Amino acid sequence: MLSFSTAALFASILFGSVQAVPVQLGKRIDQTISASTTAWEQACITAGGTRDTCSNVAVTAFTSLQESGAVCDQQNGADSMIDLAKQLNNTGDMIRLAQIFAQQPRNSPDKSQVPYCQVAPKNAELNGLFHCQFSGSNFSVFSGDQTGNVPLGLTSLNPAGSCPANPEGPIPDGVQLNTLVTEPIAASSSVGNATASPVVAIAQASATSSVAPAASVLSCSVQAEGVN
């Protein structure tokens, strides 16, 4: 017969082993958000930015990926990344990485799809870009007030969860887009539908030019949809 102390020790070990097993509630999708801007921050420092300046912009940007972030916070963060790139006269890696960041999937507290920003970006380099969704998302529902269920300028999105950098579909849960792609616009990208392709074309042009006005994404998408 077990003594009280032996029984207590056994119970403690058993409880500890149970506690060590991760609990899978299946109610959220998240990621290591800081990894989304690590490469950009290093490119920023290499370009001559101070560690504090580069870090402050990066932290503000990756914090937007949390489920508490407002719908346009991610785009605003990417705009700030591009603003600093231009200040440092680095329109190569820093802008490319900011464009990829703008398409990183965001955390979802309940596996609902995260809605899309419905405001044009400040920098033309972000025209036509929007975040992918994680593959574990419930593709029949969006969170929020249902006003951003289609990316700005598009009439539909096919396949669901895709983005210009990854037009084949959504991103595996928790994975960083910057580990899967090196360019913000895939060579074969035609995300959306037949009426939406001009939007992607604008984004492709913006990746190499900062001259085009941000509003052009709206005018081209309206014309493409047959509205005079």
**Does 160 map to a domain?**
yes
State the DSSP H helix or E strand holding residue 141, giving kind and residue range, or none if neither: strand 138-142
Output the six-digit token pair for 127: 């025209």
Query: What is the model's pLDDT at position 162?
Result: 98
Output the six-digit token pair for 185: 């616009």
Question: Positive or negative, the Cα torsion across 109, 156, 104, 169?
Answer: positive
**Does 157 map to a domain?**
yes
**Does 18 map to a domain?**
no
**Does 23 map to a domain?**
no
Asked if residues 206 and 212 have their Cβ atoms less than 8 Å apart, the reply is yes
User: Based on the number of CB atoms within 10 Å of its own CB, is 66 exposed (0-12), middle (13-18) or buried (19 or more)?
Assistant: middle
Q: Using CA atoms, how far apart are residues 161 and 78, in angstroms rounded to an integer?
A: 20
Helix (H, G, I), strand (E, B) or coil at 101: helix
Tens digits of residue pLDDT in 136-166: 999 998 987 767 889 999 999 999 999 999 9
**Does 41 map to a domain?**
yes
Number of domains in the chain: 1
Residue identified by tokens 């289609």 is 150
Asked if residues 202 and 220 have their Cβ atoms less than 8 Å apart, the reply is yes
Taking 50 as the pLDDT cut, the residues of the chain under it are: 2, 4-25, 193-202, 205-206, 208-228
Measuring CA to CA, how many Å separate 7 from each of 12, 18, 21, 90?
9, 17, 22, 66
Tens digits of residue pLDDT in 86-101: 999 988 999 999 999 9
Length of the chain: 228
Full residue range of the structural domain in which residue 155 is found = 29-224
**Does 7 map to a domain?**
no
